[in-house]
Amino acid sequence: MRSASAIIAALLLVMPAGIATAGNRASFVEPKLYIAKGGAVSPQVALTLDACSGQTDPRILNTLVENHIPATIFVTARWMRRNAEALAVMRAHPDLFELENHGLNHIPAIDNQPTMFGLKTAGSEAAIRTEIQGGVDAMLASAVAKPVWYRDATARYSDNGIRIIHDMGYRVAGYSLNADMGASLMAGQVEKRISAAKDGDVIIAHINQPSRVAGAGVAKGILTLQQKGFRFVRLQDVTVSAQPVHSGV
C-alpha cells in the first residue's frame, strides 16, 4: 500500500516551442513536470531514468540498490529484450523501482515532422498508437505492471501525440532538470547538474549507456543529493493536481 507520507502533489506544465520546416513552422510541446516541495527539513526530487535501448549502466543501478534510492525507470521493449538480468534486479526491488512505458522502439510521438534530434518520428497517429501500445504489451509480457506514465523518445511531442497519449489513458512524463542531455555530457557536468537540483525537481537521465562517462556523473550526483538530505520519490507516489497543455507554432 502506498505510504501516506509519499503521496505528494505535482503540477505538470507543458512549455511550447517551434521548429522551422520548409515553408512553415511545425509545432511541438516539451512537457515539464514538477513535484511539490518537501520543504527545508526534507527537500524532495523525483529521479527518472530512461532505458532507451542498448545495455544497462551498473554504476547507476548498483548505486540505487546499494543506497536504497527509489527511481522511476522508463523502459522500451527493445531494452527489456536485451537486459533481462537488469530487469530482474528492478523487479526484485519493487520498493525502489517503478517501471513505466518508454515505447516499443524508442520513437518520438510526433506526426507533423520527419525527425527530432536526428531520430525518425512516428509520422502518423496510427504509428504513435502502435509505439505506445507496443511498449505496454512488452511490459505486460515481461510480468511488469501496466504503466501509468508514458515518455517518448526525445521527450517532445506533437499536439496529436499529447492527445493520443491522454486518449489511451496515460500521463505524459515531463521533467524539470535534464541531467545528462541524452548521456552526452562529461561526468563532472552531469554531477554538477544533479547536485544543483532544487526541491520539487523531476530529474531525467539515462541508465542505458554504460560505455559513456555521463553515467559516473549520474551516480555521483545522486549520492551528493542524498548526502544533502534530499528525499527521492517515484512518480507512482505523486498525485497530479493539474495538466495544462499549451502548444505553440
pTM as predicted? 0.88
Give the span between the Cα atoms of 15 and 238, in whole angstroms: 20
Q: What is the CATH number of domain 27-242?
A: 3.20.20.370
Label the pairing between strands 8-21 and 97-101: unpaired
Cα separation of the two ends of the chain: 43
Residue 12: per-residue pLDDT = 40
Distances (CA, A) of 90 to 94, 138, 157, 215: 7, 16, 28, 18
Residue 104: per-residue pLDDT = 98
Residues in the chain: 249
Label the pairing between strands 115-116 and 119-120: antiparallel
Residue 209: per-residue pLDDT = 98
Residue 115: per-residue pLDDT = 94
Residue 83: per-residue pLDDT = 98
- Bridge partners of residue 206, in order along the sequence: 50
SS3 5: helix
* Nearest C-alpha neighbor of 47 from the set 218, 213, 242, 209: 218
List Cβ neighbours of 230 (8 Å cut-off, separation of 6 or more). Answer: 43, 44, 45, 197, 199
What are the structural domain ranges in the chain? 27-242
Weakly modelled stretches of the chain, pLDDT under 50: 1-24, 240-249
Label the pairing between strands 238-242 and 119-120: unpaired
* Nearest C-alpha neighbor of 219 from the set 177, 244, 176, 188: 188
DSSP 179-222: SSTTTTS-HHHHHHHHHT--TT-EEEEESS-TTSTHHHHHHHHH
